């Protein structure tokens, strides 16, 4: 993963509500959640949630799929794996194999 997408993802997650949304969507994997269910679970207004979901989507952290009249959101685990891999790439004094078990747990 390149530095620019990493910065975009970290910037998107550096907000209280967006972090809560992303963590909720991770828990809901692999089926994801409808926007209304996310709003109810986090007790937020739909328009506020929509803006924050758009920011997460622009950073590549969530994807959406229309289902009739509602939209279902899912966490983009591949982006999160790339982000964690970038952050841990040179860990452990050059012994990256020590970090591999951590990265394998999120697959």
The percent of the chain in helix, strand and coil, each rounded to the nearest 5, is 65, 15, 25
The pLDDT score that the predictor gives to residue 24 is 98
Report yes or no on 26 lying in a domain: yes
Tokens 């692999």 belong to residue: 30
Exposure on the CB side of residue 19, measured as CA atoms within 13 A: 6
Domain count, the chain: 1
User: Of how many residues is the chain composed?
Assistant: 107
pLDDT, tens digit, 9 for 90 and up, residues 4-43: 999 999 999 999 999 999 999 999 999 999 999 999 999 9
pTM of the model: 0.86
> Residue 59 sits in a domain of what CATH number?
1.10.10.10
73 pLDDT above the threshold of 90: yes
Report yes or no on 22 lying in a domain: yes
Cα dihedral 15, 21, 27, 30, rounded to 10, equals -120
The pLDDT score that the predictor gives to residue 43 is 96
| Domain of residue 50, residue span | 3-76
Report yes or no on 13 lying in a domain: yes
């Amino acid at each position: 993963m390149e530095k620019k997408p990493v910065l975009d993802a970290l910037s998107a997650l550096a907000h209280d509500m967006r972090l809560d949304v992303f963590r909720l969507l991770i828990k809901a994997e692999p089926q994801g959640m409808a926007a209304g269910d996310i709003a109810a679970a986090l007790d937020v207004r739909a328009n506020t949630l929509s803006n924050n979901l758009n920011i997460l989507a622009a950073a590549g952290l969530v994807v959406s799929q229309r289902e009739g009249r509602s939209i279902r959101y899912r966490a983009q685990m591949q982006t999160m794996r790339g982000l964690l891999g970038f952050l841990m790439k040179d860990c452990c004094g050059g012994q990256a194999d020590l970090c591999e078990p951590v990265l394998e747990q999120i697959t």
